[in-house]
Chain A
Amino acid sequence: MTLQQVEITTEELRNLVSQRAMDGETVLLNMGPQHPSTHGVLRLLLELDGETVVNCIPDIGYLHTGIEKNIEAKTYEKAEVMTDRLDYLNTMGNNLAYCLAVEKLVDLDVPERAQAVRVIFTELQRIASHLVWLGTHVLDLAAMSVFFYTFHQRERILDIMEMASGQRMMTTYFRPGGLWRDVPAGFEEAVRTFIDDLPRHLADYEGLLSKNPIFLDRTKKIGVMSGAQGIAWGITGPPLRASGVKYDLRKEEPYSGYEQYDFEVPVATEGDVYARYWVRMQEMHQSLRIVRQALDKLPKGPFRSNNRKFVPPPRAELGTSMEAVIHHFKLWTEGFSAPEESVYVPVESPRGELGVLLEGNGGPKPWRCYWRTPSFVNLQILPLLSKGHFVADLVAIIGSIDIVLGDTDR
């Protein structure tokens, strides 16, 4: 494999940067793929007039993994392993989106207990993702202690995930039809201890940041986005809700039993970095509400569908029933087939609308699985938001949009 540097040539740059850069009046600076504040391998070509950003051109693709093509080469059940690794801070959410898409495509039922457990884990994952966002965002703004606090709380969520699925991050716990296995014995107590304890820690973080004059100086009136701009650019998730548009897929197009739970959708109107911070902090509180309700209501019953055409039988049955052996063999060697149709299933990930376009072709492998990832779409607005701000503000804006490069590059 030959390694060669391919820079963007002057001719291509001519369209992208202003004439002032061509004359040498403004400076072209490369905020390269390896940078402590870009939250991953994002390359930004900055055109600077002194310290002010005139234009900012994102260059993505440094983490492109070819997940969509890999999914086309595996059966539906085995491809789920690939889906965790897209947005690696929202692994259970990715699994949920994929499982909902498969279930919709083949018309598979999901028992109530599985739906409730899915909601609990998705909301815990949302809290974990927001904790990482908070820690790394304020780390870029030089508040290092909050980073340590939030990661400590996140470890406790990862302990709960490990208890149920055996893995901290890439769990693949949700399967088409329900869950991989039922939640273990100490699960409810562990979750209850955690959600009873977290509010005082969140109050700590808010106490450190919300009225802090340095934090307010660095975040108020920075990167202002209006609601109309957001909708035109396809922004979804907390950045859109911080600009006054009340749009949350859990309320608009509920899935997995979200209509039974009572929660609010926080909306702010200023549309700056501080508003997005406020919206995400409030979302963490609302997620705790949902987890508590789901845990109180947790119905008893099976944890996975009984439809043996799609769901492999439990191993205990293999000793007694011949049909179970046949189903087990077919499902694990060839896999189940899906009709020659396509579905698009959107869910609300911590970053915005995560949509899966899944198309089958009558065979056991997906023909096309497209992931509409929120970071890919939300990142497009960065040049617009950062015009006229300083480079230090650019760092705050990137943090507030909350991008994950695995999501962007797929």
Chain B
Amino acid sequence: MGIESKLGNLGIVTTSLEKLVNWGRAGAMWPMLFGLACCAIEMMGSQAPDYDMSRFGMELMRASPRQSDLMIVAGRLSRKMAPVLRRLYDQMPAPKWVVSMGDCASCGGVYNNYAIVQGVDEIVPVDVYVAGCPPRPEALIHGIMTLHEKVRGEKIREWA
């Protein structure tokens, strides 16, 4: 406001801490490789040159949970895999977000039986649900951009 108009041409900008931190978090969110089934192929397809996700800061997918911020649960979660998912989520350092990609991860999808967890939100808290079977890469990117908007709107009281 006032100080920028005086010091603007010295190369200084002022902003709030909230906006700065949220901009940093949303700008380079690294997803963790957690492709389970068919949705993983569409996730790889959205990383591929046709629907490039590195335009949105997700240049690489980190295999290690300790080095990633975002877990895209892509595919159906079976009951044998559920403890592994929770363990990986616990290993991710805060701040962390979860995108549930596809119908199977969001609500059990086509499968309503003994072997599939009916929605990943029984195990980890989910921020964005992306519907589709499998969702198109454009749908996944829309989900990621929705998550970015959500991150940019986070308040300092929640994470400080």
A32 CA / B116 CA spacing, docked (Å): 20
Counting CB contacts under 8 A, is B115 at the interface? yes
In contact, B78 and A64 (Cβ under 8 angstroms): yes
A147 CA / B44 CA spacing, docked (Å): 10
In contact, B116 and A65 (Cβ under 8 angstroms): yes
Counting CB contacts under 8 A, is A365 at the interface? no
In contact, A5 and B83 (Cβ under 8 angstroms): yes
In contact, A169 and B80 (Cβ under 8 angstroms): no
Counting CB contacts under 8 A, is A362 at the interface? no
With contacts A62-B78, A65-B76 taken as known, whether A170 is within 8 angstroms of B134 at the C-beta atoms is yes
In contact, A88 and B38 (Cβ under 8 angstroms): yes
A274 CA / B67 CA spacing, docked (Å): 34
A81 CA / B110 CA spacing, docked (Å): 8
In contact, B115 and A148 (Cβ under 8 angstroms): no
When distances are taken between beta carbons in the complex, the residues of chain B under 8 Å from A63 are: 36-37, 75-76, 78, 81
In contact, B88 and A169 (Cβ under 8 angstroms): no
Stretch at the interface among A33-41, A50-58, A188-196: A33-41
Counting CB contacts under 8 A, is B56 at the interface? no
- On chain B, the number of residues with a Cβ less than 8 Å from chain A's Cβ atoms is 41
Q: Please, what's the 1-or-0 string for B68-89, where 1 marks a CB less than 8 Å from any CB in chain A?
A: 0000000110111111101110
Counting CB contacts under 8 A, is A406 at the interface? yes
In contact, A61 and B88 (Cβ under 8 angstroms): no
Counting CB contacts under 8 A, is A322 at the interface? no
With contacts A65-B111, A168-B136 taken as known, whether A147 is within 8 angstroms of B81 at the C-beta atoms is no
In contact, B78 and A151 (Cβ under 8 angstroms): no
In contact, B38 and A69 (Cβ under 8 angstroms): no
In contact, B136 and A34 (Cβ under 8 angstroms): no
In contact, A41 and B113 (Cβ under 8 angstroms): no
With contacts A63-B37, A155-B50 taken as known, whether A34 is within 8 angstroms of B42 at the C-beta atoms is no
A62 CA / B75 CA spacing, docked (Å): 12
A64 CA / B77 CA spacing, docked (Å): 9
When distances are taken between beta carbons in the complex, the residues of chain A under 8 Å from B115 are: 64-66
Q: Which of B39-79 contact A (CB under 8 A)?
A: 40-42, 44-45, 48-50, 61, 63, 75-76, 78-79
Which single residue of chain B is at the shortest CB-CB distance from A168? Answer: B136
Q: Which of B38, B61, B110, B133 has the most CB of A within 10 A?
A: B38
Q: Which of B83-122 contact A (CB under 8 A)?
A: 83-84, 86-88, 110-117, 122
Counting CB contacts under 8 A, is A85 at the interface? yes
With beta carbons under 8 angstroms apart, the residue of B82, B113, B122 that contacts A69 is B113
In contact, B33 and A34 (Cβ under 8 angstroms): yes
A67 CA / B33 CA spacing, docked (Å): 25
Counting CB contacts under 8 A, is A89 at the interface? yes
In contact, B38 and A85 (Cβ under 8 angstroms): yes
In contact, A3 and B123 (Cβ under 8 angstroms): yes
In contact, B78 and A170 (Cβ under 8 angstroms): no
B65 to chain A, nearest CB (A): 8
Which single residue of chain B is at the shortest CB-CB distance from A156? Answer: B50
Counting CB contacts under 8 A, is B34 at the interface? yes
Counting CB contacts under 8 A, is A330 at the interface? no
Q: Please, what's the 1-or-0 string for A397-408, where 1 marks a CB less than 8 Å from any CB in chain B?
A: 000000001100
A36 CA / B114 CA spacing, docked (Å): 28
A89 CA / B134 CA spacing, docked (Å): 12
In contact, A151 and B48 (Cβ under 8 angstroms): yes
Q: Please, what's the 1-or-0 string for A1-45, where 1 marks a CB less than 8 Å from any CB in chain B?
A: 101110000000000000000000000000011111000110000
In contact, A169 and B41 (Cβ under 8 angstroms): yes
With beta carbons under 8 angstroms apart, the residue of A70, A82, A151 that contacts B45 is A151
Which B residues contact A (CB, under 8 angstroms)? 33-38, 40-42, 44-45, 48-50, 61, 63, 75-76, 78-84, 86-88, 110-117, 122-123, 133-134, 136
Given contacts A1-B122, A64-B78, A170-B134, 13 further A-B contacts (CB under 8 A): A4-B83, A34-B34, A70-B112, A70-B113, A85-B38, A88-B41, A148-B49, A151-B50, A152-B48, A152-B49, A155-B50, A168-B136, A169-B41
- Mind listing 21 A-B residue pairs with CB under 8 Å? A1-B79, A34-B88, A36-B61, A40-B35, A61-B78, A64-B115, A66-B114, A66-B115, A66-B116, A69-B113, A70-B110, A81-B110, A85-B38, A88-B41, A148-B49, A151-B44, A151-B50, A152-B48, A152-B49, A155-B48, A169-B42
